[in-house]
Structure 1
Amino acid sequence: MSSVRTATPQTARAINDRIALELLTEHGPLTASRLRELTGLSRPSVAELLGRLGRDGLVEIVGETGAERRGPNARVYGLAAGRAHVAALDVRVDGVELVLADLAGATVAERVLPLTGPDRPRGARGPEHPMVGVVLTALDGLGAAAGVTELHTVVLGAPGLADPAGGIPPLSESLPGWHRELLVALRRRLTAPVLLENEVNLAGIAEHRLGAVRDRDTFVLFWLGAAVGAAVVLDGTLRRGASGGAGEVGFLPVPGGEGLPSAHGCDGGFHGLTSAAAVRALAARHGLPAEGAGLAGAEALVRAAATADGGPAAAFLGELADRIALGAAAAVAVLDPGCVVLGGELGRAGGPVLARRVADRLRELSPLATEVRATTVGGNPILGGALLTALAAARADLFGRD
């Protein structure tokens, strides 16, 4: 016969503390009476809990209610936001965007750093790329200006594979060498843990917490931009795969491509049909005038087509939707996620109009019922996902894990 284990008083206190901290994180500052309502704890238990968390430097009085009777019941308690600070970085091929935030998630400093200096050839020896020094200097400067002397956690989002074990991305001819150098330099300079995550995975985290799939725990986000990728979230958990390569749909063989993808390039795969360069070429084939160069030009073309009543623009958007549906159908056949989100710059530009067209085509390709939604995350979803990840790590450490 197995014995029934009961929680010790110390364990019960730790659980209650964590619940209270999570409620303050979710709802913001609360009165003691509101905490009693949300937790179901007694008045003495909540009073003891708040005193304990205050002594630990995790909770502080942030104001009072407008109640006529003053005293403990009128006090409003909130997270001690200055207890810890985190940093998030979105590292692109053309620069870095970074943000510092307190424990409550409020931004205390941010900066955009365009690429400086040419990227050194892969394998070159000598001094580090100048961009590494620019980022380190900016991070130090932002911290000093905001009065942040120490970081608890740093999360860096970057293109390409992120090894879930070691975190060091493998060498790739398609990515700048300074990405790896920056990661190594940050880990040498800072005492805080520096975590690496694939940029599309971070966008998926942001979409789940803040965007179009807050009501779902299983979905696939397709990032449509200069390059293409996917984030796979199953049962509320981000799935990275054995080597961090889950979601590399750019290499997916699909009909309509020029040949097949290879281990050294994805132009023959899904990337060759839906990347920004492919979208501009498709628009030109439909006789649409260029709306600018690069990713911005492709984004403008898709946005204009999504508002067109018909003609070549509508035909262009329809063919683009057909192409996206090919990749979505492959993901649906393997994963049955029930929902596909169109993210990235091109997914945002196409919005609900493009999402509906993809859904219509997907119904013809797959018997599995699948919603297609457009991204709704505001701002930079990669940076937002990196910040959410850093805050989750800091709070798990300070609040205590299950």
Structure 2
Amino acid sequence: MPASPSTARAINDRLALRLLQQEGPLTAGQLKQLTGLSRPTVADLVERLTASGLIAVVGESGEQRRGPNARLYGIVADRAHLAALDVRTEGVSVIVSDLLGRVLAEASAPIGGDAGTGPAVEQAVALVERTAKEAGADRLHTVGIGAPGLIDPAGGELRDSTGLPAWHRRLVAVLQERFPDARVSVENETNLAALAEQRDGAARDRDTFVLLWLGLGVGAAVVLDGALRRGASGGAGEIGFLPVPGTAGLPSATDCDGGFHSLVGAQAVAGLAARHGVAAPVPPHEPHAAALVRTAVERSGTDAAAARFLDALAGRVALGAAAAVAVLDPGCLVLAGEIGRAGGDAFAARVQDRLARMSPLVTEVRSSTLGGGAVLRGALLTARDRAQDELFAPTGR
């Protein structure tokens, strides 16, 4: 059944907007060439999108640089402002961007563990307000938040989780109150890191992969056939609870001690390093476990103890990774989080070697290329996609 005229116009409009987003400003002739649409159809959609305030003439192109055919059309970037937050146990980072995702302002602030729920939330919200003001954003269209913990797939809310600060859950509600016109959404931080690595990082050439987050806690994100898989309860990737050999017991429904977390969480990594005689000064703004791994990688060529520590840690990581590989056969594993990125390509190669000994399924192990900015990048990408989906929606004309 052929599409109705209004549906065809909506499809053409969205196609043109996506091309302008990906390629930058284009002339009507370039849009005609890239879309395959007729000249009158392109002229109509340019007129519609200009009238709706979504695109505007941003310059001219060509040798003579004059006349209607030389006009360059681009998306009106300040049509909407977006905010992205990376919410951690000990603080918050925020960026504010335009509709194209160009960062206009960014800031971070620590939030002490002794701060009460109310003061902690106020600190975080005030940081968002200051950053938006610095960016020149009178209002925020969309706010994307990355946070540790489970996200309820039905309501999209951060579920109450043992060990996480109470202010995390309250923050989402207060941001919605303070920015009543904004579309506020929250996503698990590991899932956002995977989306960012898929779009702009280590998994750009992969439709199927698993991202393993190694940091203070342990998590995983699963991307199958290009789509992020959250699971029935939002808990897909809670690999810290995975029972593995080598622990003192078994995990419980409320505590991942005894699971994979007990082998590769930050505290376990520090203990393993100590048993191998590996020590490192703790530089500012780097977790101790990450500093130990980074230092061991730097010394592993000449320090046998450092090499043994990395081999032992790679063996531990491979235990949990092998379970994901056996069930999902992702073909690619991305090591992220503070510890994963501290190990870099050298540690990824060690994990890949251990996996090859444990599984017949060929799996390439890669290190994150986005590093500590992966969660913020993922939050911004999801905020931008949501804003564009709404703003680029059919207008009914």
**How would you bin the TM-score normalised by the shorter chain?**
over 0.9
Q: Are the counterparts in 1 of residues 338 and 372 from structure 2 also a CA contact under 8 Å? A: no
**Which residue number corresponds to residue 376 of structure 1?**
369
**Which residue number corresponds to residue 175 of structure 1?**
164
Q: Report the 3-state secondary structure (helix = DSSP H, G, I; strand = E; otherwise coil) of the residue aligned with 1:207.
A: helix
Report which stretch shifted further, 163-172 or 81-90. 163-172
Amino acid at match of 2:351: V
Q: Report the 3-state secondary structure (helix = DSSP H, G, I; strand = E; otherwise coil) of the residue aligned with 1:287.
A: coil
The within-5 A match list for 1:173-212 is 173-191=162-180, 192-212=182-202
C-alpha distance in 1 between matches for 2:38 and 2:62: 23
C-alpha distance in 2 between matches for 1:79 and 1:378: 30
Alignment counterpart, residue 154 of structure 1, candidates 137, 143, 147: 143
Change (3 A) 1:281 1:20: same
Alignment counterpart, residue 51 of structure 1, candidates 47, 52, 58: 47
**Which residue number corresponds to residue 218 of structure 2?**
228
**Which residue number corresponds to residue 262 of structure 1?**
252
Amino-acid identity (%): 59
Unaligned ranges ≥5, structure 1? 121-127
1:394 aligns with 2:387: yes
1:289 aligns with 2:279: yes
Report which stretch shifted further, 372-381 or 50-59. 372-381
Alignment counterpart, residue 135 of structure 1, candidates 87, 102, 124: 124
Amino acid at match of 2:291: A
Q: Report the 3-state secondary structure (helix = DSSP H, G, I; strand = E; otherwise coil) of the residue aligned with 1:243.
A: coil
1:341 aligns with 2:334: yes
**Which residue number corresponds to residue 100 of structure 1?**
96
C-alpha distance in 2 between matches for 1:7 and 1:218: 33
* Displacement of 1:66: 5.0
1:68 aligns with 2:64: yes
C-alpha distance in 2 between matches for 1:176 and 1:218: 33
**Which residue number corresponds to residue 343 of structure 2?**
350
Q: Report the 3-state secondary structure (helix = DSSP H, G, I; strand = E; otherwise coil) of the residue aligned with 1:315.
A: helix
**Which residue number corresponds to residue 23 of structure 1?**
19
C-alpha distance in 1 between matches for 2:126 and 2:360: 54
Q: Which runs of 4+ in 1 moved over 4 A?
A: none
* Displacement of 1:100: 1.1
TM-score by length of structure 1 reads 0.93
Report which stretch shifted further, 262-271 or 90-99. 262-271
* Displacement of 1:378: 4.8
* Displacement of 1:304: 2.3
**Which residue number corresponds to residue 243 of structure 1?**
233
1:33 aligns with 2:29: yes
Q: Are the counterparts in 1 of residues 150 and 161 from structure 2 also a CA contact under 8 Å? A: no
C-alpha distance in 2 between matches for 1:367 and 1:232: 20
* Displacement of 1:32: 2.0
**Which residue number corresponds to residue 217 of structure 1?**
207
Change (3 A) 1:90 1:327: same
The within-5 A match list for 1:82-97 is 82-97=78-93
Amino acid at match of 2:380: L
TM-score by length of structure 2 reads 0.94
C-alpha distance in 2 between matches for 1:119 and 1:257: 34
Q: Are the counterparts in 2 of residues 329 and 366 from structure 1 also a CA contact under 8 Å? A: yes
C-alpha distance in 2 between matches for 1:201 and 1:139: 22
Change (3 A) 1:108 1:358: same
Unaligned ranges ≥5, structure 2? none
Q: Are the counterparts in 2 of residues 84 and 152 from structure 1 also a CA contact under 8 Å? A: yes
**Which residue number corresponds to residue 111 of structure 1?**
107
Q: Are the counterparts in 1 of residues 337 and 372 from structure 2 also a CA contact under 8 Å? A: no
Change (3 A) 1:7 1:306: same
**Which residue number corresponds to residue 321 of structure 1?**
314
C-alpha distance in 1 between matches for 2:221 and 2:258: 21
Q: How many residues align?
A: 390
Change (3 A) 1:69 1:388: closer
1:300 aligns with 2:296: no
C-alpha distance in 2 between matches for 1:53 and 1:339: 41
* Displacement of 1:281: 1.0
Q: Report the 3-state secondary structure (helix = DSSP H, G, I; strand = E; otherwise coil) of the residue aligned with 1:380.
A: helix
Q: Report the 3-state secondary structure (helix = DSSP H, G, I; strand = E; otherwise coil) of the residue aligned with 2:222.
A: strand
C-alpha distance in 2 between matches for 1:256 and 1:91: 32
